[in-house]
Chain A
Amino acid sequence: MANKTSLLPPTPGAAAAIPESGQAAVRVLVSPRARRRARLEERIARALLFLCALLGVLTTFAIVFILLSESLGFFKRVSLVEFLTGTQWAPLFRPQAFGVLPLVMGTLLTTLIAMVVAAPVGLIVAIYLSEYASPRIRRVVKPMLEVLAGIPTVVYGYFALTFVTPLLQRFIPGLEGFNALSAGLVMGIMILPTVASLSEDALYAVPNSLRYASLSLGATRLQTTWGVVVPAAMSGISASFLLGISRAVGETMIVAIAAGQQPNFTFNPLRAVETMTTYIVQIAMGDVPHGTLEYSTIFAVGLLLFAITLGLNLVSEAFRARYKEAKL
């Protein structure tokens, strides 16, 4: 932390609150030349820092521009109606079919299964941590949730394929080797920390006066929790669910490894399905020459994926803003 360019020796006492390095600024007072230099530096620094911040905006524009411009070629050849309502997805076979619904269905199915796990378990874990658990339990459970959140998705994919699927096959005879069920279940574990920690934040933000009022009316703790605290935190809880859904929709590796790579138009969780994300990876890794119609499909699918997750994120953000504003 010590700054070698400092001209003045550190004077204890006088500037105890400022790190010694702060005293380098004193140089400015010394000469007009140093002052001019400082002013120039200031301008350059400000401009450079602004450029850094601008890069974020540029990235968004670049994403939107690329997805739109690359899928333009696709939509010139395939109508939007055919893309959005067709139930057959076979860009690499003859005759070609460009109905995206099988991919959407696969995404929807795995997301639904994931949320069936993550929403109730996440909410109950959040309620338990916020309303019931002792500080000691919280100290153990919260880091564990962080560990779950930090595990790379390719690891979850391995777990789904080599553990969950064989395990489920013992109980469910018709389960295919690649299937939506185990990919969805494991994805549920993956998004559980997101749902639990965001919901817990929302529950924690509910002021105690509401709890005391309810308890003093003779309600039990459980009645207070479900009748008062959870409704008060509802917008935050909804935000956590929406963010969880958005994560599940955009998740790639678990489904690419364990759910399969066949675009089946089915809602049967025991069968193999292909999600939008899996399709993008599959084609980008393959040897489809770029510039072709087949190649441009990944940008059309990417555009749809981007639109869906952006919508979910914006609504989630709106819910979260509401509960942050509504400080009771």
Chain B
Amino acid sequence: MSVATATALRWRAREHRREAAFQIIGAAMVLLAMAMLTVLLVKILLDGYARLGVSFLTEYASRRPENAGIKAALVGSFYLMLLTAAMAVPIGVGAAIYLEEFARRNWWTRLIEINITNLAGVPSVIYGLLGLQVFVRTLMMERSLLAGACTMALLALPVIITAAREGLRSVPRSLREGSLALGATQWQTVRYAVLPVAMPPILTGVILSMSRVVGETAPLLVVGAFAYIAVLPTSVFSPFTVLPVQIYDWVSRPQHGFHQNAAAAIIVLLALLLAMNALAIYLRNRLQVRF
């Protein structure tokens, strides 16, 4: 009897120890991930803050790291984002409306859905190859802002469609039924009853997808963004550069000065992304319609 009790007690103590050990391991892994993020941010801030300043934002790229700035890259990123959004948002929201509000549940709709899921998983560098062959060569846009934006629009499309579908799904049925009962057509219902209510979550999704576009590098390298540009784009057919491409160019140079510039440009890029995400969260909380 006492032997059995002793065994049971020992077993329980052992299980307790294991339980405690796992709790510690779990917490340690979470802390490890947090520590990595902190180290990464601190390292970049320490490397780059000395180079930050007004002239860094208003100078063009240069052979001498201490004179170089990110004017062309910053403006290029901004234009690229606007142009990409102008193409991808109407098409993406349109596709989402079709799939959520109009499409019948059949194999054709399933095909479109599976397609969009898979497109989201295609490596971004493959989109670069697509853009290179379709926009740069076949449509003869050359290495222009427009070619870059078209490529990025295709890349952003699956993200926007998914976000917009979720936004549309958040609109209660009663609204659609009310509108239809008043004699509105399906499109009028979507246009006047559903879209206005679904707009805030869609907008949030759009901003988040644009923050991915701003941070994307590989497809633009393939499509041909130049790192060394000393003029601002004057039209959509101008050559261009963007922040991540400028960062890549500076990182891949051996001189320490350029690495400092890269870190400073990363700070600007992260600040931009932070601002966009903050805006998205603000819109989500502020404009959300509750039922």
Contacts and interface: CB of A to CB of B under 8 A. Distances in A.
State whether these chains interact. yes
Interface of A: 1, 3, 15, 17-19, 21-26, 28-29, 38-39, 41-42, 45-46, 48-57, 59-60, 62-63, 66-67, 70, 121, 124-125, 127-129, 132-133, 137, 141, 144-145, 147-148, 150-159, 161-163, 189, 192, 220-223, 225, 243, 246, 249-253, 256-257, 277, 280-281, 284-285, 290, 298-299, 302, 305-306, 309-310, 313-314, 317
Nearest to A219: B15
A163 B37 CA distance: 13
A159 B42 CA distance: 11
Residue in B133, B175, B199 with the greatest tally of chain A CB atoms within 10 Å: B133
B141 to A, nearest CB: 15
A314 to B, nearest CB: 7
Contacts of A46: 98, 102, 186-187
A66 B133 contact: yes
A173 B154 CA distance: 45
Contacts of B157: 55-56, 59
A70 B188 CA distance: 45
8 contacts: A38-B188, A48-B94, A63-B130, A128-B26, A154-B266, A158-B44, A251-B123, A285-B221
B266 A158 contact: yes
Contacts of A290: 137
Interface string B20-35: 0011011101101110
Contacts of B133: 66, 70
B112 A54 contact: yes
B263 interface: yes
B58 interface: no
Contacts of B170: none
Given A15-B178, A19-B192, A153-B215, 20 more contacts: A1-B199, A19-B175, A22-B175, A25-B179, A25-B189, A42-B188, A56-B116, A57-B112, A66-B130, A124-B29, A147-B37, A148-B37, A150-B211, A150-B277, A151-B40, A154-B266, A249-B123, A253-B244, A285-B222, A290-B137
Contacts of B262: 158
B197 interface: yes
Contacts of A38: 185, 187-188
A99 B133 CA distance: 24
Nearest to B281: A143
B4 interface: no
Given A24-B188, A25-B182, A155 B270 contact: yes
B97 A49 contact: yes
Contacts of A15: 178
B216 interface: yes
Contact of B161 (A56, A129, A257): A56
Given A55-B157, A158-B262, A310 B33 contact: no
B29 A121 contact: yes
A1 B196 contact: yes
Interface string B33-72: 1101101100110010000000000000000000000000
Residue in A21, A22, A285, A309 with the greatest tally of chain B CB atoms within 10 Å: A22
Given A54-B112, A56-B95, A158-B263, A21 B187 contact: no
Interface of B: 15-16, 18-19, 22-23, 25-27, 29-30, 32-34, 36-37, 39-40, 43-44, 47, 90-92, 94-95, 97-99, 102-103, 111-112, 115-119, 121-130, 132-134, 137, 154, 157-158, 161, 174-175, 178-179, 182-193, 196-197, 199, 211, 214-218, 221-222, 224, 244, 247-248, 251-252, 259, 262-263, 266, 269-270, 273, 277
Contacts of A253: 217-218, 244, 248
A28 B183 contact: yes
A220 B263 CA distance: 48
B23 A60 contact: no
A52 B95 contact: yes
Contacts of B123: 249-252, 277, 305-306, 309
B23 A132 contact: yes
A158 B125 CA distance: 19
A65 B115 CA distance: 15
B115 to A, nearest CB: 5
A19 B102 contact: no
A256 B197 CA distance: 44
